[in-house]
Amino acid sequence: MNRIAKHIWATLLLLVVALPTVAQRFSVQGGDGLYSTYIEDYRSTDGINAVIVVYGTADKVLRFDAPSAEPITWYTYDDVVNPLPATQVNHYSTTPLSRTECGYVVMHGDHPYYLYVVDYIKHPLVLSSVSVQEGAAMCDVVTLDIEGSGKEMTYYAFNNMYPYKIERDIVISYNTLQWNEEALAYDEVPTETTLKQFSSTYPVTAPLCNTTFAVTGDRFLEEWGMTQEVVTDEFITVAVEAQAKANQIYREAENELDRHPEDLGGSAPVEIEFNAYYTDAVTHVEWQFATDAHFNDVTHRYNDDVLRYTFREDGTVYVRLTVSSYDETCIYECEPLVVNIGTSSLEIPNAFSPGTIDGKNDEWRVAFKSIVEFRCWIFNKQGVQLYYSENPGEGWDGTHGGRLVAPGAYYYVIEARGADDVIYKRSGHINLMHSRKNRTATDGKEQQ
């Protein structure tokens, strides 16, 4: 390299590092008009300002629009001494597109700009057919065999001459199912994945519904209205997925403790409705109950889409929904639902004041949690049964035969069993207290 060439080369390298960002534009004119600007970021500090992909070179010229009308000179990366033939009109200049797979340097005054040009015709995408590769289970992944070709296209930056791949963006599209939480259903939706480069085989996430796979591309052919597309025959899916939902049925008795826990469970008996929602290929549904989170010991199995179950024993129960396709080719297990049933408790008040104006403490009720069996009797001093209930959520309002009984002491007997198998046998006295309302209403003639 002679002294002049060395000087120009050194100046170019210095300017690559030192120049700030300046707006400019490269374009292609003439011929069939088919070209695509792949990169146009104007950063000469990277040694590249633009990458253009052309569809052939016949009758085409490169154009550079400068920020001002200073002299414009064209060079190639490999010859920065001998300028290319060019025409300048005011602030823009053109040069015949004589070479591709080639970098160009444009000197605008003392400022360099860099362009790399690739000819698509030398790297054409050809899509002949596409099919689904057989042999695998296809529960998670489906592999496509794509017949065709598409050589990689590359460009180079002036400052390092390192090859950078041009992304083709070949699109694989198909339908699958997607869970809709609001509607509690699986919706069929289109999905796609993008290949940056051509590949003869490519794995995609297995669809959850029957579908076809289409391969289209690439980004340049699409831009030029020349898109290629190949489509598979209908693919019959075997992939499965499911959603397990639980709805607890709550009781409203205010004297029951832990009746509205944040999570599933609480005070037994706990009634929960389990609902299974699943995708098209599911042929078998199973709810599994276990006392360990790893389901090493499954205690119950049910094959219902909707299962209503009552938990009557204390402790933690794990409930898992498992679904499978025909012959259990594909199996999907939902995250376990955890049901925590609390231990029992029973507290018995010894006094109440029925018929009060403010309505407070006007019923005799036990406070309880996880009581699964319950019987309660209340007697007067003569041994007459005034009240009986098998529901701990109910209470005695101090009446018998539709009238308030007289204030005084009454006798209760309770037999109960907790979810933890604790047996309760309780008895004692209840003090029915005077109140202004019942004294006035009965005028001292309350029943006893």
Residue from 66, 120, 73 nearest 90 by CA: 66
Higher pLDDT, 148 or 46: 148
Q: Is the pLDDT of residue 435 over 80?
A: no
pLDDT band at residue 359 under the 50/70/90 scheme: low
User: Could you tell me the two tokens for 332?
Assistant: 């999907």
Over range 96-112, report the average pLDDT: 94
Q: What is the mean pLDDT of residues 81-90?
A: 95
pLDDT tops 50 at residue 120: yes
Q: What is the pTM of this model?
A: 0.81
Give the bridge partners for 102, in sequence order: 117
Tokens of 24: 């400019």
Tell whether omega for the bond before 349 is within 30 degrees of 0, i.e. cis.
no
pLDDT at residue 16 is higher than 70: no
Higher per-residue confidence, 17 vs 277: 277
Structure tokens at 197: 């480069």
The span from the CA of 227 to the CA of 217, in Å, is 6
Q: 189 pLDDT band (50/70/90 cuts)?
A: very high
358 — pLDDT class (breaks 50, 70, 90): low
Q: Which of the residue ranges 140-144, 306-310, 366-370, 442-446 would you say has the lowest mean pLDDT?
A: 442-446
Higher pLDDT pick, 360 / 320: 320
Neighbours of 298 (CB within 10 A): 15
Buried b (16+ CB within 10 A) or exposed e, 361-384: ebbbbbebbbbbebebebebeeee
Q: Is residue 408 predicted with pLDDT exceeding 60?
A: yes
Percent of the chain at pLDDT > 70 equals 90
Closest by Cα among 415, 417, 430 to 364: 430
- Contact status, residue 206 vs residue 239, Cβ threshold 8 Å: yes
Confidence of residue 13 (pLDDT cuts 50, 70, 90): very low
- Indicate if the pLDDT at residue 436 is higher than 60: no
List, in sequence order, every residue forming a beta bridge with 346; answer none if it has no partner: 368
Q: Which pLDDT score is estimated for 21? A: 40
For residues 316-329, average pLDDT: 95
Residue 6 has pLDDT above 50, yes or no: no
Mean pLDDT along residues 345-360: 86
Give the mean pLDDT of 273-300: 97
Rounded distance, CA 213 to CA 258, Å? 53
What pLDDT is stored for residue 398 in this prediction? 95
Please give the domain boundaries of the chain with CATH numbers for all domains: 3-122 (2.60.40), 126-231 (2.60.40), 242-341 (2.60.40), 345-442 (2.60.40)
User: Left (φ > 0), alpha (ψ -120 to 50) or beta: where does 328 sit?
Assistant: left
> What's the confidence (pLDDT) of residue 159?
87
pLDDT at 356: 72
DSSP strand pairing (185-195 vs 170-180): antiparallel
What's the chain's Rg over C-alpha atoms? Answer: 41
Residues 122-156 have pLDDT tens digits of 999 999 999 999 877 899 999 999 999 999 999 99
Query: What is the CB neighbour count within 10 angstroms for residue 391?
Result: 12
* Mean pLDDT of all residues belonging to the chain: 91
Q: Can you give the chain as a three-state secondary structure string?
A: CCHHHHHHHHHHHHHHHHCCCCCCEEEEEECCCCEEEEEECCCHHHCCCEEEEECCCCCEEEEEECCCCCCEEEEECCECCCCCCCEEECCEEEEECCCCCEEEEEEECCEEEEEEEEEHHHCCCEEEEEEECCCCCCCCEEEEEEEEECCCCEEECCCCCCEEECCCCEEEEEEEEEEECCCCEEEEEEEEEEECCCCCEEEEECCCCCECCEEEECHHHHHCCCCEEEECCCECCCCCCEEEEEEEECCCCCCECCCCCCCCEECCCEEEEEEEEECCCCCEEEEEEECCCCCCCEEEEECCCEEEEEECCCEEEEEEEEEECHHHCCEEECCCEEEEECCCEEECCCEECCCCCCCCCCCECCEEECEEEEEEEEECCCCCEEEEECCCCCCECCEECCEEECCEEEEEEEEEEECCCCEEEEEEEEEECCCHHHHHHHCCCCEC
* Residue 233 predicted with pLDDT over 60: yes
For 252-271, how does the pLDDT look when each residue is reduced to its tens digit (9 = 90+)? 999 999 999 999 999 999 99
447 pLDDT band, cuts 50/70/90, is very low
In the prediction, which pLDDT does 357 show?
60
Instruction: Tell me how far apart the terminal alpha carbons of the chain are, to the nearest angstrom.
Output: 125
How many angstroms separate the CA atoms of 154 and 163, rounded?
6
CB distance 247 to 272 below 8 Å: yes
Whether 446 has a pLDDT exceeding 50, the answer reads no
CA 208 to chain centre: 15
Lowest mean pLDDT among 8-22, 31-45, 333-347: 8-22
Stretch 278-302: mean pLDDT, rounded? 97
Q: How many CA atoms does the CB half-sphere of 23 hold within 13 Å?
A: 1
